[in-house]
A and B are shown apart, each in its own frame.
Chain A
Amino acid sequence: MINQRSFAQFLGWGIFVLIVGVVLPLGVRQYQVALLTEIIIFALFAVSYNLLLGYAGLLSFGHAMFFGVGAYTVAIVLNHISGLSFFGAVMISVMVTTVAGFAVGSLLLRHKGVPFALLTLAFNALFYAIATKWHSITGGDDGLSIRLPDINLGFAHLKTGDITVFYYITLLIIGSVILFCWYFTRTAMGQTVLLVRENEERMKFVGYNTNVSRLILFVFTGFLAGLAGSFYTLHYQFTSISAISIDMSTIVVLMVIIGGTGSFIGPILGACVYIYLQDFLSDITDRWPFIMGLIFIFMILYVPRGLSGLIDSFGERLRGRWHLRSSVEMEE
C-alpha cells in the first residue's frame, strides 16, 4: 500500500532520476547520449520482465514476443498510415501489444513453472515465425525501416531525428513509465502479485482469483515490453527479426539476472551494465558473447542476488560497522 514514507521515496527517486537524466547528456558526446537512450529503453524492458520473474515468480523465455510486437507494430503503422503522428504510432503499438498480451496470457494463465516457461518459448517461436514468413508486412529477413515523424506540440516543434531531443523524449516517457511501475509494485494489486507468488493456496482460500491477478500482470508486462519495443524501433528507425527473436528474450533474462531479481532497481542496473559491457566488449573482441556468458555463469554461481544484492550487502556491511562503532563510542 502507498503510505507517506513510500510516497516520499517515490518523490525522491523521481527527482533523482530527473536530475541525473537531464544533466547527464549535457557536455557528453552524442554517442553517449544514444547509448543512454538505449539503456533507458532496455531498462523498461528489463523492469517489465522482472515484474514477471522477480515479483510473480513466473519464468518466461518469450518476453521478446511483446517487445517485438511493439517494435514491428510501430514500424508497420508508420509505413502504412501516412501522416500518423509520433504518439499516435506509439499508442497503436502499445494497444496492439496489450491485445497480444491478453490473447497469449489467457491461454497461459493456468500454467506455472516449467510448462509456463516452455509455452512462452513456444509462443515466442510462433511470433518469430510470423515475423520471418509474413514478408509482405514485416519485411522478413530484411526488416522494416521507418521515417521518424517530428512532434508538433503547437508551441514547439521537436525534431525527433536529433539524438538529444529523442533522448529527452525517451527519458520523459519511458522514465515516467518506469516510475509508474515502481508505484505499481507498492499498490494493492502489486502486493497481491507478491502474495500469489509466496502462497497461492492461501490467496485462493481468502477469496482471490489468482488466475486473474496473473493475467492482469502478464498483460501489464506485455504492455510495458511493447512500449520498450516501439521506442527501440523509433530509436534505430529500423526493426528486424532480432527484436522478436529468442536472442532478445535471452538478453532480457541476462539483464535481470545480472542486475538481480530481488529489487526494483536490479533490472535497471542490469540493463546499464549489459548495454555498456556489450558496447565496450564488442570493441575489443568479436567473441564478446562468450565473455557475457562467463559473466552470466559467474553471477549465477557467486552473486545469485545480482548487482543490486551486492550493493545491498555492501550497504548492510557499512551500516553494521557504523552501528558497531557508534555502540563502542557509547560504551566508552
Chain B
Amino acid sequence: MKKSMLCGLGISVFMVAVVFVSASAQAAETIKIGVCEPLSGTFKDIGERYLEGVEYAVKVINEQGGLLGRKVEVIPIDSELKPDVASRKATKLILKDNVRYFCGGTGSSVGGAMSVLAEKNNALMLSYGMAAASLTGEKCSRNFFRACLNTDTQSYALAMWVANSGYKKVLGIAQDYSFGHEAVEAFMKKVKELNPSIEIVGKLFHKAGEKDFAPYVSQIISSGAEVVWTPNWGNDLTLLIKQGKNLGMKAKIASYFLNDEYLIESVADDSAIIGNVTAEAYMLTIPGEENRKFIEGFYKDKGYYPSWLRGKAYTATMFWAEALKKAGKDDTNAVIKAWEGLTYEGPAGTWYMRPCDHQAQIPVWVAIMVKDSEFYKHAFVGKPTMIPAKDIEITCEETGCKMK
C-alpha cells in the first residue's frame, strides 16, 4: 500500500511539474510565421534552402517597416518529414504562442496534416513546394493556400513543351511508388491529348534508391526514345543522368528537378546536363527587373544565389505578406478573404490566388539546360520561356475541390 502511495505521489508531483514548469506567457508583439521543413535527416538540405527563402523574405519585409506596423518573426519547425511531428510541434506553437501562420514546402503528407490542423485551429497554412494536386483538389481547405505549381500543372507544362518540340517518341521512367506512377500517367495522358501523333515507347519503373540504371538505360536506348520524361528526384535522378550518359543514352531528359545547382554539381559532367529540359515556377534566369533586384539583394546578403527553392519560398512569402497588408489586420479570416482573388507582381511574373481552391495561378517557366551561365561555372538553366497560367489552367471543377 505504502509502495503504491509513494508511486502515486511521484506521479502527481511529476504531472504538476509538467504543467506548471513549462507554462510560460509570451506577449504577441510580432507576427509569427512557423516554417515546417525537414531541418534534420536526409532531406535537411531541401528544408534549409526553403527556410532561407522565407527568412530572406521576412528580412526584406522587416526592413520595409514590417507588416501592419509590426515586425515579422520566423519560427523554424523541424518537421522531420513526418506529418505527426509537424502537427504536434505546430499545435504547440498555436496553443502556446498563438502562432497563426504556417508555411512549408517539403512533403505533401506534412502538407495534408498541416491543412487539417490549420482548419481545426483557424490558422493559415501556405505551401510553396508541396506538390500533390489533391491538397487543393479533393482535400482542399479554406485555411490552406498553395503558391507554387502542383504535379498536374507542372506535368502539363512539360507535356506542352514535349508536344510542341517535334519529338515523336517519348518514354517515361519513374520510381515504383504512387507518386512515380501518378506523375507518369498524368504526363503521358497530357502529351497524347496535345499531340496524338507522339508515340509512347515505354514506361519503366524502378525501386526508389536504385543504384544500377544500366538495365533501364539499355531499354531506353533500344526503345528509340527521343525524350525521356522522369519525375525522379534526388540520387535517382543524378544516377539516371550520369549512368545514361556513360552508357551512350542520347535521349533528352525532361524533368521537374533539373533547376538545381546541387544536382548539377553532383552529376559533375556538363555534357550530361546540356540540352535537357525543366519547368518550374521560379528560376534564376527569369527576365525582368523584379527578379534582378531580388537576386542582387539576396546575393549581397548571403554571398550566393537564391536559386530554385529559395526563390520559390521567397516569392510565396512575399505573396502572403501582400495578403496581410490587404487584410489590414492580423486576423486569419480577414487574411483568407483578402488573399482570395489577390494578384501579386513578383520576381516570377504575375501570380493570382484563385478563390475557388486556393491554388495560385502562376506562369510556368520552361528552360533548356545550357553550357554557359552568368551564375555558375557549370551548366545551368538557360533563358526560360513563359507558359502563361491560363494555358496550363486546370479548372476548379476538374480539381474536385469543394470548399467548405
Binding site for B on A (CB under 8 A): 5, 9, 12-13, 16, 20, 24, 28-32, 34-36, 38-39, 135, 139-143, 145, 161, 163, 236-240, 242-243, 263, 265, 268-269, 272-273, 276, 279-280, 282, 286-287, 307-308, 311-312, 314-315, 319
Are A20 and B12 also in contact (CB < 8 A) when A242-B84, A243-B84 are? yes
Q: In the bound complex, what is the Cα–Cα distance between A140 and B175 (angstroms)?
A: 15
B106 in the interface (beta carbon within 8 A): no
Are A279 and B92 also in contact (CB < 8 A) when A29-B23, A240-B113 are? yes
Question: Is there contact, CB below 8 Å, between A242 and B11?
Answer: no
Are A276 and B40 also in contact (CB < 8 A) when A29-B95, A143-B109, A237-B120 are? no
Question: Is there contact, CB below 8 Å, between B7 and A240?
Answer: no
Residue in A closest to B84 when the chains form the complex, CB atoms: A242
Which residue among A31, A39, A237 has the maximum number of chain B CB atoms within 10 Å of its CB?
A31
Question: Is there contact, CB below 8 Å, between A34 and B95?
Answer: yes
Q: In the bound complex, what is the Cα–Cα distance between A296 and B18 (angstroms)?
A: 20
Question: Is there contact, CB below 8 Å, between B7 and A308?
Answer: yes
Question: Is there contact, CB below 8 Å, between A20 and B78?
Answer: no
Question: Is there contact, CB below 8 Å, between B132 and A142?
Answer: yes
Question: Is there contact, CB below 8 Å, between A280 and B22?
Answer: yes
Residues of A within 8 A of B396 (CB): none
What is the CB-to-nearest-CB distance from A268 to chain B, in angstroms, rounded to a whole number? Answer: 7
Quick one: which of B148-179 are within 8 Å of A by CB? 177-179
What is the CB-to-nearest-CB distance from B189 to chain A, in angstroms, rounded to a whole number? Answer: 19
Q: In the bound complex, what is the Cα–Cα distance between A224 and B139 (angstroms)?
A: 31
Would you call the interface of chain A mostly helix, strand, loop, or mixed? helix
What is the CB-to-nearest-CB distance from B344 to chain A, in angstroms, rounded to a whole number? Answer: 28
Q: In the bound complex, what is the Cα–Cα distance between A31 and B19 (angstroms)?
A: 9
How many A-B residue contacts, CB cutoff 8 Å?
126
What is the CB-to-nearest-CB distance from A85 to chain B, in angstroms, rounded to a whole number? Answer: 19
Residue in B closest to A147 when the chains form the complex, CB atoms: B116
Q: List 18 A-B contacts (CB under 8 A).
A: A13-B8, A20-B11, A24-B15, A32-B19, A38-B88, A142-B108, A143-B109, A145-B113, A145-B115, A161-B120, A238-B113, A238-B117, A265-B8, A272-B11, A276-B18, A279-B22, A314-B6, A315-B6
Question: Is there contact, CB below 8 Å, between B23 and A268?
Answer: no
Question: Is there contact, CB below 8 Å, between B96 and A29?
Answer: yes
B89 in the interface (beta carbon within 8 A): yes
Residues of A within 8 A of B248 (CB): none
Question: Is there contact, CB below 8 Å, between A272 and B8?
Answer: no
Residues of A within 8 A of B89 (CB): 282
Question: Is there contact, CB below 8 Å, between A319 and B15?
Answer: no
Residue in B closest to A240 when the chains form the complex, CB atoms: B83
Q: In the bound complex, what is the Cα–Cα distance between A145 and B132 (angstroms)?
A: 15
Partner of A311, one of B7, B15, B120: B7
Partner of A265, one of B11, B15, B18, B88: B11
Q: In the bound complex, what is the Cα–Cα distance between A143 and B111 (angstroms)?
A: 10
Are A269 and B109 also in contact (CB < 8 A) when A28-B23, A142-B132 are? no
B2 in the interface (beta carbon within 8 A): yes
What is the CB-to-nearest-CB distance from A280 to chain B, in angstroms, rounded to a whole number? Answer: 7
1/0 contact trace for B128-145 toward A, CB 8 Å?
A: 000010100001000000
Partner of A272, one of B3, B18, B39: B18
B82 in the interface (beta carbon within 8 A): yes
Q: In the bound complex, what is the Cα–Cα distance between A236 and B46 (angstroms)?
A: 26
Question: Is there contact, CB below 8 Å, between A135 and B10?
Answer: no
Question: Is there contact, CB below 8 Å, between A9 and B18?
Answer: no
